[in-house]
Structure 1
Amino acid sequence: MIGIDLIKTSRMRDLMERFDKKALKRFLSEEEIGLVKNYKTASGFWAAKEACSKALGVGIGSECGFHDIFIYKTKSGAPNLKLSEKLLNKFNIKDVSLSITHDGEYAIAVVAIESASADKIKQL
């Protein structure tokens, strides 16, 4: 399953200027906020969580909330995802991959999810 999201970074800049850290708390944990360098980083994190929810096929809502998706950095500094037990179990997730990129005033994220359910589909 694949999900993608695009955000104009000025939207995040405006949100952060207006609401400061409160804006980030809406979709990030304290640990994730610690990784945010600027509004462009925050935009990438927003796109990553939206892309993940789209890969699951549900979007952000009752089945998958922003705080069910956790972004962290690997030792080499690459972003990666951890998912809540709720999501792992509900969607039979085996693996997840994330890529975030920035170009000009846009941040784009792509998430690929491998699930046990997907294996069944391939066998049909």
Structure 2
Amino acid sequence: MPLRVGTDLVEVERLQGVISRQGERFLQRVYTPAELEECAHSLPSLAARWAAKEAVAKALGTGIGPVAFREIEVRRGPLREPVLHLHGHAAALAKQLGLTEWAISLSHTKNYAVAVVTAMG
């Protein structure tokens, strides 16, 4: 049974700088419409999802590049817990690696956001 782990830490101020420079174009490239709606443009929440996308890419063993940011989607479950949805190449790669079960944990403060992801098959 394969086991993969990914983690990432994001400085909220750094993300704010990227959004200030690139604006809506950046947000549309990285986040799904549902993610943007759920986050309501809260920088710490967006940073936590950015960290989650990076952590998932690390667990897949690719890093961001071969997998598009929007192929990794973090939504809220019924208890407002983070729920991971993979699409496109990210989903195909997870299937190829035999990764069928995912767990994700997010946390953030005013200054930092962190994500930890585990994947098992």
Q: Is the 8 A contact 1:6 1:108 kept in 2?
A: yes
One-letter code aligned to 1:51: A
1:74-114: CA deviation from partner (whole Å, max 9, x where unpaired): 01111110112423322222100110111341100000001
CA distance in 1, matches of 2:76, 2:98: 24
One-letter code aligned to 1:94: T
RMSD: 1.4
1:22-66: CA deviation from partner (whole Å, max 9, x where unpaired): 22112111111111231111100000000001011111112x221
The corresponding residue for 1:120 is: none
For the pair shown, the structure with the greater C-alpha radius of gyration is 1
1:1-27: CA deviation from partner (whole Å, max 9, x where unpaired): 110000100011122233332221121
CA distance in 1, matches of 2:112, 2:82: 17
The corresponding residue for 1:119 is: none
**More contact order relative to length (CA 8 Å, sep ≥ 6):** 2
TM-score (norm 2): 0.85
Q: Is the 8 A contact 2:60 2:94 kept in 1?
A: no
After TM superposition, the runs of 4+ consecutive aligned structure 1 residues lying more than 3 A away are: none
Q: Is the 8 A contact 1:5 1:47 kept in 2?
A: yes
1:15 aligns with 2:21: no
SS of the aligned residue for 1:93 comes to coil
SS of the aligned residue for 1:60 comes to coil
1:83-94 correspondence runs (5 A): 83-84=86-87, 85-94=91-100
TM-score (norm 1): 0.83
Gapped runs of 5+ residues in structure 2? none
One-letter code aligned to 1:111: V
Question: Matched residue pairs, number?
Answer: 114
Gapped runs of 5+ residues in structure 1? 116-124
Q: Is the 8 A contact 2:5 2:119 kept in 1?
A: yes
